[in-house]
Amino acid sequence: MPDEAGAVSDPGPVEHLAWQKILFAQRLNAFEILKLGAQAPSTGPVLRVHRNHAFETVSNALPAFLSFAGITLVPRLGDYDDSLSFDGPGPGVASELVWLDFARYPSLTDHDLTAWLIGRLKALRGISAAPIIVANAPGRSAREAHINDALAAWAGETADAAILDLAALASDPSFPFIDEARAVVTGTRYNAAAALATARALAFRVLPRFFTAPIKAFAVDLDNTLYDGVLGEDGIAGIVLTPGHAALQARLAEWAEKGVLLAVISRNEPGDVEALFAARPDFPLKAAHISSWQVGWTDKSASVSAAAEAFRIAPDSILLIDDNLGELIEAAAQTAGLRLLFAGDGPADALRALENYPGLPRDAVGFEGRAADLRANKVRESLAHEASDSADYLAALGATLSFSLDPAKDRTRLAELSAKTNQFNLALRRLSEVEVDRFLSEDDRSVVHVRLADRLSDSGSVAALFARREGDSAVIEELAISCRALGRRLEDLIVGEALRRIVDVLGCTRVSFDYAEGQRNAPARRWLETYAGQSLPAAAGRIDLAEVPRRADVPVALAWTD
């Protein structure tokens, strides 16, 4: 419904629960999607479509999927243009989509077509800093494979580039993608079902990489969600692991092994749940996959908050999976930003929704070591309590900090640290991969990437510091340290070691920090006040260090890998 300003109100997470059966259906239905009433906004960030065939059948279905994903984009469709003669950056463009039917280039050899295409994509990157998404070829011919391989290679080496994988959508032989007769009426050979599947893939699997916060953890109910039955009533022997539930459990286990955190949120007796997992070797999901057990009789919202605290993440990074609508609604009402997945229609539907849910990481970038870190945190807390001072604690920890200067291979992770870190992020610039590329390649800029390990676990990538030379000062435009590294008394060491190398590389004698005030970055601001020995005079600004810090004599191994 329109609000007082005439804009279309966006349904919240509770209203979206009613949409899930339609948006995650195995076979999407255009009429049911349109009945949801989602409308594209008239103003806002632009999804600019460069095309040589019709995109309207996709864009008509997009509003519902984008609304569910929490993404505001206004599709702007260009004229049909086989030559891809881009018309400049364009105002308000937040993302570029290249939508080509490669059958329209019959006179070009495979090599000539891909050489031309990659050249045009490089030209687009030259005029636009927005993410570039390219739809690949939906077929299995040698020519289409050649095109798709070239596009995959281009995306792998290009900042903020992604593939809309039509080939994957068309791989199901029961799902015909091409309808030659359709082009006469609609302007595209891609059929109606293909258009709906494309809209879902674009909104749920591709655009969230650039426009939504990632889901870092699952909070999963037990009874009638991970198995058939109610533990407190049916007992362990009465719990039935159906094939569908086994498949759902196996997929959750795979996510956990990739580093996505997993919490059990269940209204049961803790002892009963412990006995269940011990007695059921047929469960693909093992106790070792679970990083937080929130079992008891409190509200689900309280259990989700407890899991978020245990994981050291915000609740809006959690996806709650439950078969009980009432408990999903209660949790959402009490937990701002919590993502919801209704599992009450059966495990097959829940699994399909899980595979498509927007915001899930499609690779393991930045997720390595999370569960191991959580298990190690209790030991670290014990070491901190027993140590007489910081030096004793660090010696007992046996930490190693590994630094690398301008590592181009780490571009994606560096951008993720800037874009996704909240608590310890000084300037909150949210750098894109294109912006990170500037720090990696330009002479007056530099970036340091930091990895952390100690005797308890390997935490992997934990920090990034982005600097720019301004006169004789190295201005730290962005400093982000993952919450996984916090609490180990290493912040000063991480920053100090990086600064010493930065001023040397940039030829500077002074250091300044840019900072801004955000909803969650109070820890970073407090750290800067202590580190600089002065209060921050405004909500945002720049503060100078009195001197470049010297290397501290502490029992921590510091190594440079470049």
**pLDDT score, position 2:** 35
Tens digits of per-residue pLDDT, 386-408? Answer: 877 788 888 888 899 999 999 99
Task: Give the pLDDT of residue 369.
Answer: 58
Q: What is the mean pLDDT of residues 91-104?
A: 96
Residue 384 pLDDT grade (very low, low, confident, very high; cuts 50, 70, 90) = confident
Domain boundary among 176, 211, 246: 211
Please state the φ and ψ torsions of residue 90, each to the nearest 5 degrees.
85, 135
Claim to verify: residue 240 and residue 190 sit in the same structural domain: no
The whole-number average pLDDT for the span 302-328 is: 94
Residue 476 sits in the same domain as residue 540: yes
User: What is the reported pTM?
Assistant: 0.86
Q: What is the mean pLDDT of residues 337-361?
A: 94
- Residue 380 in domain: no
* Structural domain span for residue 243: 217-356
Residue 10 is predicted with a pLDDT of: 61
Q: Is 366 within a domain? A: no
Residues 269-290, mean pLDDT to the nearest whole number: 96
pLDDT tens per residue across span 288-307 = 999 999 999 999 999 999 99
* Contact (CB, 8 A) for 134 and 156: no
The domain boundary, picked from 162, 187, 211, lies at 211
Q: Are residues 345 and 463 in the same domain?
A: no
How far is Cα of residue 183 from the mean position of the Cα atoms in its chain? 36
For residue range 489-544, list pLDDT tens digits in order.
899 999 999 999 999 999 999 999 999 999 889 999 999 999 999 999 999 999 99
Does 381 reside within a domain? Answer: no
Instruction: Tell me, yes or no, whether 373 lies in a domain.
Output: no
pLDDT band at 94 (very low <50, low <70, confident <90, very high): very high
Same domain, yes or no: 419 and 484: yes
Query: For the ranges 72-76, 357-361, 449-453, which has the lowest average pLDDT?
Result: 357-361
Residue 425 maps to which CATH number? 3.40.630.30
More confident residue, 130 or 459: 130
Tell how strand 541-544 and strand 510-515 pair up: antiparallel
Do 233 and 85 share a structural domain? no
Q: How confident is the model at residue 1 (pLDDT cuts 50, 70, 90)?
A: very low
Query: Is 51 a domain residue?
Result: yes
Q: Tell me the β-bridge partners of 217.
A: 261, 318
CATH of the domain at 313: 3.40.50.1000
| pLDDT for res 362 | 67
Q: Is 451 contained in some domain?
A: yes
Residue 333 sits in the same domain as residue 394: no
Residue 8, pLDDT > 50, answer: no
105 or 40, which is more confident: 105
Same structural domain for residues 340 and 391? no
Domain count, the chain: 3
Residue 511 and residue 474 in one domain? yes
Q: Would you say residue 4 has pLDDT above 50?
A: no
Q: Which of 240, 259, 261, 215 is nearest to 353 (CA)?
A: 215
Q: Are residues 345 and 493 in the same domain?
A: no
Contacts 24+ apart (CB under 8 A), 344-350: 344/224, 345/21, 346/244, 347/242, 347/244, 347/245, 347/247, 347/248, 348/244, 348/247, 349/21, 349/24, 350/225, 350/248, 350/321
φ/ψ of residue 27, rounded to 5: -120, 110
Domain C-terminal end among 186, 211, 236: 211
Q: Tell me whether residue 87 is in a domain.
A: yes
87 shares its domain with 37: yes
Q: Read off the pLDDT band of 383 (50, 70, 90).
A: confident
Percentage of the chain beyond pLDDT 90 is 78
Q: Are residues 278 and 412 in the same domain?
A: no
Mean pLDDT in residue range 41-56? 95
194 and 112 share one domain = yes
Cβ contact 273:312 at 8 Å: no
Examine residue 372 and state whether it is found in any structural domain, yes or no. Answer: no
